[in-house]
Amino acid sequence: MKLIVGLGNPGKQYDRTRHNIGFEVIDFLSSHYNIPLDKAKFKGNYGIGVIGGEKVILLKPLTYMNLSGESIRPIMDYYDLVPEDLVVIYDDLDLPVGRIRLRQKGSSGGHNGIKSTILHVGTEKFNRIRVGIDRPKNGMKVVDYVLGKFTKEEMDILEGTIKRCADACAQWAEEPFLQVMNKYNIQ
C-alpha cells in the first residue's frame, strides 16, 4: 500500500492558493481514479482505492500546513506503512511555476509542512514531489505570496503540472520511486 499526501491548508479562503498545490494534485487523483476522499480521521480527509494495481491512500491533512505531520504519522501507523511507502506533494518557492522535482530525501528547505512531516515521521528519507510556484516579485512578503491565488497564466501552466504530478504518482504505484524520479526530473 502507498500513501500519497498533498499538503495545503483547509478552508475555502485557501482554495486555489499557491500553498495548496498539494491539495490540487490529490483532488485530481481523487477525481481521475474515482477515489472519493470520504473518510475523516487522522486529522485529515482521505480515501482508499487502486491506482495501477496498487492499493493507495490519498490524504489531505486538515491540520494546517505547519502541523501536517500530525495527520501523516497516525495514518502511517494505523496502516503499518514505512517512510518508503510515502510521497508528499507540496509547493516550492525555489522552482519556476510549473516545474516539478522529485526527491527521495532531504531537508525541509524551510518549508514548514515538510519540517512537521520530518519531525513526526522521524526521518528525512521519504519521497517528495516539489511543485514550483516561483518566488514573489516586487518586494511582496513570502507569506502573502504563498497564501495568494495563482494568476490565470499560472493556472494555465499548472493544469499540465498537476496532471504530470498525478502521472508520476500513478507510475510510482507500478515501479520504484527512483525510476519515476529519473523520468520526471528531466522534463
The cell for 112 is 514548514
Beta bridge pairs of residue 101? 130
How many Å apart are CA 64 and CA 11, to the nearest integer? 9
Beta bridge partners of 40: 45
- Taking Cα atoms as reference points, which of 130, 134, 135, 133 lies closest to residue 100? 130
Options 19, 32, 111, 120, the catalytic residue? 19
Instruction: Report CA-CA distances (Å) from 67 to 79, 95, 138.
Output: 20, 23, 30
Best CA proximity match to 154, nearest among 167, 139, 137, 169:
137
Please identify which residue in the block is written with the cell numbers 510556484: 133
**Catalytic residue status for 32:** no
Query: In Å, how far are 27, 109, 158, 171, 185 from 164, measured between CA atoms?
Result: 14, 23, 9, 10, 11
Catalytic residues: 19
